[in-house]
Amino acid sequence: RRRIWHALSVYHRSVLALERRQFQRGHYKRIIAVSEEVKQELLNTYALPEEKVTVIYNGVDDKRFHLSLRDKFREFVREQWHIPLDAPTVLFVGSGFRRKGLDRLLKAWSSPQMKETYLVVVGDDAQRGRYQALAEDRTHGKAVFVGRRDDVETYYGAADLLALPAVQEAFGNVVLE
């Protein structure tokens, strides 16, 4: 289905044409990739000289996202969203829910083993309402959608586990955070 869309989509073909043009010799001085995987994909797809592609990994504030903040935020966030302190809680952070794999994660929440486990979804998506409806069907109220947050570190502190079931992720800041 996706391949058909790619073949027929004027937008997708236009983006690929622009990419091909920008990666032609003479159209760049240097190319920065966010991971070795992205670098290899660029080298393989566009036959670029390896010395022209540099990997610079994303960074994160290690004081803002520090394990010691867990105790500070755990009770606050759970109380705010009516999550029992002793309930196992899984965190999903991301926008572009389909690409980040939220549909697959929600499918897992329909399992009887997950009935006491909460899922906290931080982020946004154009189809957020559809995902919330899907969650209500599968999670029996154990999924909380909090939207896009500037204080995402508080949610990391409240969770027991982070889930990142991404379909495609070049190098997610979520991993660093």
pLDDT digits (tens, 9 = 90+) for 91-116: 999 998 998 999 999 988 888 889 89
Residue 111 neighbours by CB under 8 Å, 6+ apart = none
Ramachandran angles phi, psi of 32, nearest 5°: -105, 130
The answer to whether the beta carbons of residues 100 and 127 sit under 8 Å apart is: no
Q: Half-sphere exposure of 136 toward its Cβ, with a 13 Å CA cutoff? A: 6
The pLDDT assigned to 8 comes to 78
Structure pTM? 0.76
The pLDDT assigned to 158 comes to 94
The pLDDT assigned to 44 comes to 94
Q: Which two tokens stand for residue 61?
A: 């504030």
- CA 155/CA 37 separation, integer angstroms: 29
Q: Which two tokens stand for residue 18?
A: 């622009």
What b/e string do you get for 87-96 counting C-beta neighbours within 10 Å, with b at 16 or more? eebbbbbbeb
Q: How far is CA 23 from CA 4, 9, 16, 72, in A?
A: 25, 21, 11, 47
Residues lower than pLDDT 70 in the chain: 1-2, 6, 141, 170-171
- CA 93/CA 65 separation, integer angstroms: 14
The pLDDT assigned to 169 comes to 73
Mapping DSSP to helix (H, G, I), strand (E, B) and coil, where does residue 162 land?
strand
The pLDDT assigned to 2 comes to 67
